[in-house]
Structure 1
Amino acid sequence: MLIDRAIPESGPDCTDEPVVVQRPLSVWERLGNSTLFRRLVLLGLLAALWEGYARHLDVVIMFPTLSETADAFWRSMLDGSLSVRVLASLKTLMAGYALGVLAAAVLTMIAISSRVGTDLLRILTALFNPLPAIALLPLSLLWFGLGEISLVFVLVHAVLWPMALNLHSGFLGVGETLRMVGRNYGLRGPRFILLIMVPAAFPSILTGLKVSWAFAWRTLIAAEMVFGISSGGGGIGWFIYENRNLLETANVFAGLAAIILIGLLADAAVFGVVEARTVRRWGVQRS
């Protein structure tokens, strides 16, 4: 609703206060204020550009149209060739992600407990954070063999260091006033961390979870391509690699679409909901 301020005419009965006239928003103004509508319009434009360029190029083996990609996506999901790979990837991803977050929490607890722990965390992150997780896959295959454990190992590496850095940064940013409040209430040890430190540092924790998820997802797809070559199986990464060798480009795009959709779903249905119910509601972050 828009508010128009009318300036009153001068006269003996007039006051200095402006007259506020409210008028309802038009349909286009309401749509323009809708984030969902704006994003749908942008997605529609991107889809139209994709379809138009692919039809202009007219080389399916290089760049299939959006309709061909959608058809390949639904067919591969229904016949199980892609849906089974999606479930396999998600299973491995959740195992590595959970272990990585847990390891980061333990390492951060050690770091905030003593100066030696802080030095240890900083040394380890300086050594291993710049190391790409996929670079450890050959060693992982050598140590753990051809199995899911090898993939989980590289996922833990991808998740551990960015998560630990964000956790530590968030805990260091907790003000001394909040710490004193917790101590005055007699909070110590794990209860102090859970009731005082975690809520105060939650924006950094949530950022670490989102960044670690993105790192883990990308690492998994890349690792599955190599892992699939070695074992003859795998998840979405192997699906993409296998169809590339068969020159089934529409299926390759379908695999890429599955990766994007899972990422969007995780961001909107998981991280977005948590963010809206915590840091945005608390006024820590603007929507």
Structure 2
Amino acid sequence: MSLVLDPPIRQEREYTVTPAAPRPPAPALPLARGAWRQGWLRKTVILILLAAIWEAIARWQNNDLLLPTFLQTAQAFVQGLASGELPDRVRVSLTVLLQGYLLGILAAFALTALAASTRTGRDLLETLTAMFNPLPAIALLPLALLWFGLGKASLLFVIVHAVLWPLAVGAYAGFQSVPDTLRMAGRNYGLTGLRFVLHILVPAALPSILSGLKIGWAFAWRTLIAAELVFGTTAGQGGLGWYIFQNRNELYTDKVFAGLAAVILIGLLVDNVVFRPLETLTIRRWGMQR
């Protein structure tokens, strides 16, 4: 005969839960400390310090022909803007630069897509980058002048060379780092060729591609300025490099520095207005980069 034991019955109790005390608000940061966390403010302070150092060294040297002061350069820069000469030179340079940059992007994408799709394309890309990537674009300027003459075509040739190889190397390195799981997922969905590159490889390799775009932009910008310093005019109009070269010949050193300041400001503007928001909207938003 089995003995069935009933489980003990617990005595019910009622508990009163007191609401937790509200957490005190976090102490507010001091105004100066909170403002210092803003990246734009820190960079502005750095630029102001550099300008002050420049002004001090120029005043100590006291030779406007060798090194004008920051205030003299700023005055020449404002005068160039007011007269319209500096904006016209910048417009000519940027027009040629954007055309060559876009052509370089298209060529790099075609070459990298071929390398990601076929073994022959990969061998072709590795061979060409090993040959031409170490070659400075400005070294091809004599050949460009011989082949295309004195004009825009020569500038486009050296700019495409400056953009093509760093972008192709960066994009291909990004493609190589794509995990095998993503590759297999794309194959399972039946993606091949260009569709596989666009839907799988490009999104996964986006940090490397953006890095290549930034490097290609910097290479193209400095190559264009150097090329314009050599022969300068395209279709009868000189660019920013020619503006610098011309004022150097006429010993207007403050205008030379104003032209260099325009080159620097355009570089800062492109980095902070184009590439940084693009990174924020893509790779940082998706957690691919801190």
TM-score, length of structure 1 as denominator length: 0.89
Deviation at 1:228, TM superposition (A): 2.2
Task: Answer with 1 or 2: which has the greater Rg.
Answer: 2
Q: Is the 8 A contact 2:133 2:165 kept in 1?
A: yes
Q: Deviations over 1:65-108 (max 9, x none)?
A: 11111111111122122211100000010011110110011111
Q: Which runs of 5+ in 1 are unaligned?
A: 1-18
1:43-58 correspondence to structure 2 within 5 Å = 43-58=47-62
Counterparts of 1:285 and 1:235, CA distance in 2: 37
* Alpha-carbon shift at residue 191 of structure 1 (Å): 2.6
Could you tell me which residue of structure 1 aligns to residue 242 of structure 2?
A: 238
Q: C-alpha distance in 2, partners of 1:279/1:232?
A: 43
Distance in structure 2 (CA, Å) of the matches to 1:279 and 1:256: 32
Question: Does the 8 Å CA contact 2:152/2:234 hold for their aligned counterparts?
Answer: no
- Corresponding pairs, count: 268
Most deviating of 246-255 and 177-186: 177-186
| Larger displacement relative to structure 2 (254-263 or 54-63) | 54-63
1:208 corresponds, among 203, 207, 212, to 212
Q: Please name the residue that 2:171 is paired with.
A: 167
Counterpart position of 2:106: 102
Determine helix, strand or coil for the equivalent of 2:190: coil
2: distance between equivalents of 1:252 and 1:21? Answer: 55
Deviation larger for 229-238 or 106-115: 229-238
Q: SS of the counterpart of 1:22?
A: coil
Q: Does 1:25 align with 2:29?
A: yes
User: Which one of the candidate residues 183, 190, 204 is aligned to 1:179?
Assistant: 183
Letter in 2 for 1:252: V
CA–CA separation in structure 2 for the residues paired with 1:22 and 1:157: 55
Confirm whether residue 273 of structure 1 aligns to residue 277 of structure 2: yes
Q: What residue number does 1:223 align with?
A: 227
Q: Show the counterpart of 1:126.
A: 130
Identity among equivalent positions (%) equals: 57
133, 148, 151: which one pairs with 1:147? 151
Cα deviation, residue 233, structure 1: 4.5
Q: Distance in 1 between matches of 2:78 and 2:32?
A: 34
CA distance in 2, matches of 1:74, 1:37: 23
Measure, in 2, the Cα distance between the counterparts of 1:270 and 1:53.
34
Structure 2: how far apart are the matches of 1:230 and 1:187? 45
The match for 1:135 is: 139
Please, which moves more after superposition, 212-221 or 58-67?
Answer: 58-67
User: Under a length normalisation based on structure 2, what TM-score does the superposition of the two structures give?
Assistant: 0.88
